[in-house]
Structure 1
Amino acid sequence: MKTKLLLLLLMLHKPIWTLASPYPFASSPQVPLFSPFPNSMSASSPGIVMGAEQRQMDSHKKMVIAIAIASTSLGAVILSVLCIWIYHTKYPSKSKGKNVQRSDAEKGPASAPTLSKFSSIKLVGTKGCVPIIDYKQIEKATGNYKESNILGEGGFGCVYKAHLDDNLEVAVKKLHCENPCAEQEFENEVELLSKIQHPNVISLLGCSSNEATRIIVYELMHNGSLETQLHGPSHGSALTWHLRMKIALDTARGLKYLHEHCYPAVIHRDLKSSNILLDAKFNAKLSDFGLAITNGTQNKNNIKLSGTLGYVAPEYLLDGKLTDKSDVYAFGVVLLELLLGKKPVEKLAPAQCQSIVTWAMPQLTDRSKLPNIVDPVIKDTMDPKHLYQVAAVAVLCVQPEPSYRPLIADVLHSLIPLVPVELGGTLKVAQLPQQVLPANPHEDSSP
């Protein structure tokens, strides 16, 4: 009995953890991953409370640091935006100049050679980013503006063929700027063309001046103007149906670039067959930007009424309202020239003229009459469906009400299926007739 009592006492004096722990010789108690105690008991532990306070203090510090960093970043952004706004307000012309040519066409190579390749050309400075060529050299290159070198004539001067280098033929426009309007057109054209680069817009190579004379130098277009090809001595004999559609398509591409990819949008304002130039491969390029503007709708109070009879849209002529649809109207007249082989205004008598639009409209919408008014050079050489489609596009473009006219982008999409793949469209033909391809042996100056 005593022995049992002694053993019981010894057991009671042993530490409790030696009975509960499976590891009686551990140097420190192990904290379980999941506490078996209720949450209320855990919260009452002083160690746990101190840990929570420490974590809360760290969290507050991190939040303060994050707020400070965010505030600093926001302040920097606001300051940067303010600086940019002040700069653009103070120097608006520079910011606009950088934005005027936003187009995928800029990703391609330049359509004309740069003058830096020719060491024999004497440059005397720059006008913005346009090279200024020595006037004496231009004078010599044109044969002192020899009459036989005249390529065309405009309101303020002539365009001459010139040889600036053994391997470089150019076109030189000579403007007589005693008239303030001529000076304004010179400045306008140089400024615009210096910012424009597109395969269907003429390339500006340089400029020059001497007293009241202003010079603009362009790439040379070996096949001259569309007007000369259609209404000159050949009367359009070099222009097959497919080539005419190609020229219309190229012109529409150039206009689409001006209307939709330039910022601000450019309205040509003087689109006509004499301002559509053709290179050695009959690629068409828009030229003569002296009257072009870079803002939207105009009225008689802030812009002088300008243009060429036969191409001017009715709303511009009557109300001074000028939009991109004004260019679409002029394009429609050019399309009629290509289709019918007639001038935009025909003289019926010494004091009487008739517009091609007025004359053709009743017959364009009559399928039985349409084939009879087509240019004899191309008559019966096209698919009748294509003929009707082109006539329909022309009719829409020359509608008196601007809102009824299509956008030039819609016109472009209508013409693409009518032009053979070989000429820049999507039409697949088994074999192009030999006369479709240009026979001019000259190589175009552009790559």
Structure 2
Amino acid sequence: MVVMHKDVIFYRRRLGNAPQSTPSSDKGGENKSSSSAMPIMVSILAVVIVCTCLYCLYCWRWRKRNAVRKAQQNSLRPLSSSDLPLMDLTSIQAATNNFSKANKLGEGGFGPVYRGALSGGAEIAVKRLSTKSRQGNMEFRNEVELIAKLQHRNLVRLLGCCVEKDEKLLIYEYLPNRSLDSFLFASSNQTQLDWKRRHHIILGIARGLLYLHEDSLLKVIHRDLKASNVLLDNKMNPKISDFGMAKIFEGEDDEVNTGRVVGTFGYMAPEYAREGIFSVKSDVFSFGVLLLEILSGQRNGGCYLQKHGQSLLQHAWQLWIEDRAVELMDPLLENSYATNEAWRCLHVALLCVQENPDDRPNMSIVVLMLISEQMPLPPPTEPPNFARFTISSDMSSTTKTNSIKTHTVNEITMTLIEPR
């Protein structure tokens, strides 16, 4: 018994010497584990919140994009009641071999252009609105509404349109000779433009503009007349195309001030480039530039500026006042052109590119001056020097047109204001 009592005492002493856990140490362990778990929980929660926000943003943008697309399509639906035929997407896909690369003619600011053949054998040119082009939706409707109401032998003929699913298409007559610039500025085709054809093209363009300005039911300002927007049929008859930038004048208005300048700077009237003011005289200026290009076979651009130290307009003026106009004429014409016709065309061109729009003739006078050898022509004044122009920064513009690009059938360009 005494022995057992000693063992119990010894055991109790051992227990007394053993380290005891205290409430404070337990609490410290719990705090330590809690503090290490907190960042993990916060990180997980943050990831969940971010993912949820991104998903909500995606859903919102997806719904908004679909709503905008649906609104655009609905806004184009009323076109079915117009005189312009609506064509189904299936037939256009079959005609263009489902928009194959082999059928692609080129690409402009509007989007790609494809050649196609309908089941009856008729050839067509199809403009396909680029889904990435926001401006193209407005210009699509603008061009449809305008050309559906305009019919003239010197305007490109719109055969129909298509608005299905995400596709917006314009179907035009196919013009095998493509655009005027592919003949004027491409060395392989320049010899095909003799003086008789050039003079015929000049008169055709002038008559087309006269119809737009004065003879149609609508008073239309083209705003982007240039060599690439003049197409040639199989008989080399000119047809003005690309009405995406065109504007209709309402009432008795003679000019409009817009904050959005579009077009190609080399052809742009000075009052439009500087102040955003356009009128029929803006198209007259562009016609004058185009007329000088047809006479000289040279593009009014950066290359000409580098070669001659001045623009085509300034060079033509200098040669005119120095009585050396013969030096402006395309060397490929040699002496085969009719001198009286050529000098009259040059005189008219210089009248069209005068800096003051009030000094420029309207298109009815231009046509009369071109066809009548008996009509006296007033002396021209010096054309503008674009080097001194400054474009106001608040004027917005559209897609930049490259100085080198594929010449396409019925191409639409949307151009940044940039000196060439």
**TM-score (norm: length of structure 2):** 0.65
Is the counterpart of residue 141 in structure 1 residue 95 in structure 2?
yes
CA distance in 1, matches of 2:243, 2:222: 6
CA contact (8 A) 2:288 2:350 kept: yes
357 and 147 in structure 1: CA distance in 2 versus 1, 3 angstrom threshold: farther
Q: Deviations over 1:319-347 (max 9, x none)?
A: 11110000000000110111000112132
Which of 98, 115, 129 is the aligned partner of 1:175?
129
Contact 2:116 2:124 in 1 (8 A): yes
Q: Distance in 2 between matches of 1:152 and 1:244?
A: 25
Q: Is contact 2:304–2:311 with CA below 8 Å preserved after alignment?
A: no
Q: What residue in structure 2 maps to residue 305 of structure 1?
A: 261
Report the equivalent of 1:329.
Answer: 285
| Matched residue, 2:334 | 379
RMSD after superposition: 2.1
Q: CA deviation at 1:148?
A: 3.2
Query: Which residue identity lines up with residue 337 of structure 2 in the other structure?
Result: M
Query: How far did 1:413 drift?
Result: 1.3
1:373, 1:382 → 2: CA distance? 13
1-side partners of 2:242 and 2:310: how far apart?
26
CA contact (8 A) 1:223 1:282 kept: yes
- Structure 1 residues 233 and 174: CA distance shift in structure 2, 3 A: farther
The 5-angstrom pairing of residues 137-216 of structure 1 reads 137-216=91-170
Structure 2 residue corresponding to 1:280, chosen from 209, 230, 234: 234
Of 325, 330, 336 in structure 2, the residue corresponding to residue 370 of structure 1 is 325
The corresponding residue for 1:402 is 357
| Aligned partner (choices 340, 355, 361) of residue 317 of structure 2 | 361
Shift of the alpha carbon at 1:348?
Answer: 6.2
Alignment gaps of 5+ in structure 2: 1-78, 374-420
Change (3 A) 1:202 1:376: same
Aligned residues of 1:176 and 1:212 also touching (Cα < 8 A): no
1:417 Cα deviation from its structure 2 partner: 4.7
Residue 315 (structure 1) aligned with residue 260 (structure 2): no
Post-superposition Cα deviations, 1:190-212, rounded to whole Å, max 9, x if no partner, equal 00011111111111100113444
Q: State how far apart, in whole Å, the 1-side matches of 2:123 and 2:209 are.
A: 26
Q: Which moved more, 1:221-230 or 1:138-147?
A: 138-147
Q: Deviation per CA, 1:27-84, whole angstroms, max 9, x where unpaired?
A: xxxxxxxxxxxxxxxxxxxxxxxxxxxxxxxxxxxxxxxxxxxxxxxxxxxxxxxxxx
How far did residue 354 of structure 1 move?
5.2
Change (3 A) 1:355 1:155: farther
- The equivalences for 1:16-415 within 5 A come to 126=80, 128-295=82-249, 296=253, 297-301=255-259, 304-347=260-303, 355-367=311-323, 369-415=324-370
Give 3-state SS (helix, strand or coil) of 1:377's partner. helix
> How many correspondences in the alignment?
290
| Partner-residue secondary structure (3-state), 2:193 | coil
Q: Give the residue type in structure 2 aligned to 1:366.
A: E
Relative CO higher for 1 or 2, CA cutoff 8 Å, sep ≥ 6?
A: 2
Q: Which amino acid aligns with 1:168?
A: A
- 8 Å CA contact 1:151–1:224 kept in 2: the answer is no
Q: Distance in 2 between matches of 1:396 and 1:147?
A: 44
Secondary structure of 2:277's aligned partner: coil
* 1:106 equivalent in structure 2: none
How far apart, CA to CA, are the structure 2 residues paired with 1:417 and 1:232? 32
C-alpha distance in 1 between matches for 2:158 and 2:301:
31
Question: Hey, what's the Cα distance between the residues in 1 that align with 2:327 and 2:161?
Answer: 47
Report the Cα distance in structure 2 between the residues aligned to 1:245 and 1:417, rounded to whole angstroms: 13
